[in-house]
Each structure stands twice: as structure tokens, then as C-alpha cells.
Amino acid sequence: MIVTVGNTKGGVGKTTIAVNLAIARALAGRDVWLIDGDRQGTAQTAISIRSEAGHAPGIACATYPDGPTLRAQVQQQAAKFDDIIIDAGGRDSTALRAALVLSDVLLVPFQPRSYDVWALNDIAALVDEARSVRDGLRCFAVLNCADPGEHSTDNTEAAAAVADVPQFEYLPAPLRRRKAFANAAGAGLSVLELKPQDSKASDELKALVSALF
């Protein structure tokens, strides 16, 4: 399966989620390819740190911030992998547009802030374009850095706002604002690998992986 974690808005935590998803799938025995489609190259940096530290399993990772190159490489090599996770976006880019046409699933992280919710409309327009040339693209919006409280009004209102953007289905597997996610990704790890483990963060990631795959 090809999953793009993307958004036209930056700062929503897409790279952290992409790295965590890729490693979680590899830990489950899948052959995974992580593609960094962002010119900042943060996902590639995280995986390089992982490789230098000798963590297993190793994660295949490549950087293709150019849309035509990303499209060509995925078309040529997709058959070699069980899952491909593409980290794309932060803005409307050729890489993001190419990823949407290639993907089975688009996962759009957004934070419980009004301008993050409004930004869903921007990427919704790209979804419409992608669906005009490719059938079957499934699109989910997921809360990232959600408020820790189980009954947060901000979380509830943000989740409800997704209903106003028909291109997306709200995925009820939020990742809450926990240091474990950033600490893990910065070390090239999944929260599933952190020692000591943050059980709440691990459970949230497991729920997201289960909902997506």
C-alpha cells in the first residue's frame, strides 16, 4: 500500500507521523520504503540517524522533492516493497501532487487550531484534482498534537469541522501532544522502540496503524 502523509500547511507533524508509521510497519515484518518528498529532508535525516546508530530493522529511505522524479521512481520500484510511506507537503509542491496520484491513501494530520482546520480546504482542492485522474484515493484527516484531555472541547470541535470538508473522512485515532513522538522521531525511532516506553504514545500509534492498514 502507498500512503502519503501530507498537507499544504507546514508545522502539522507530518514527518513525525511518517517516520513513526514507516518504522511501525517495518517492526511488523513489512518491507517498507520511506520517501521524503519535502525539500527540508527531515525524514531522510531521521533515518540517517537511525542507520548510524545501528537500529534494526533498517528502513529504506530516499529523497525525491521533485514531482516527476518521485513519480518515476515509485512507478519503477513500487513492486519491491509491501508498503511505501511518502512524506510530502508543507506547501503545494510537485512532489505532493505526484504523491497524491500514486497513493492509495492520503493521511492529512492537522492540529486542533482553527487555521489548521481551514487549511484542509486547500489540500481538498488537490485531492479533487488527483481523483480526476486516479480512482480510489482514500483520504483521511487525523488529529495530531491533540490536547491530552479525553474530553477536550478543542479536539471535539476540530474533529467535527472535518465533516464540512467532504473530501475527507475523520480518522478517530488521534495522536496527542506527547514528547515521546518528537523525541522518538528525532532519534530515528518509533515510539514503539523508546526506552523507557511511553505506553500511551505507543497505544495511540498502534491505533493509527490499525485504522490505516
Q: What are the Cα distances from residue 145, in Å, to 41, 76, 122? A: 21, 35, 20
Amino acid at site 116: D
Indicate yes or no: pTM above 0.85. yes
The predicted structure's pLDDT at residue 113 = 73
96 within 8 A of 66, measured Cβ to Cβ:
no
Q: In 3D, which of 97, 78, 96 has the Cα closest to residue 87?
A: 96
pLDDT, one tens digit for every residue, the chain (213 residues): 999 999 998 888 899 999 999 999 999 999 999 999 998 899 999 999 999 999 999 999 999 999 999 999 999 999 999 999 999 977 889 999 999 999 999 999 998 876 777 788 889 999 999 999 988 999 999 999 888 876 778 888 888 888 889 999 999 999 999 999 988 988 899 999 999 999 999 999 999 999 999
End-to-end CA distance of the chain: 8
Range 2-212: architecture per CATH: 3-Layer(aba) Sandwich (3.40)
Query: Per-domain residue ranges for the chain?
Result: 2-212
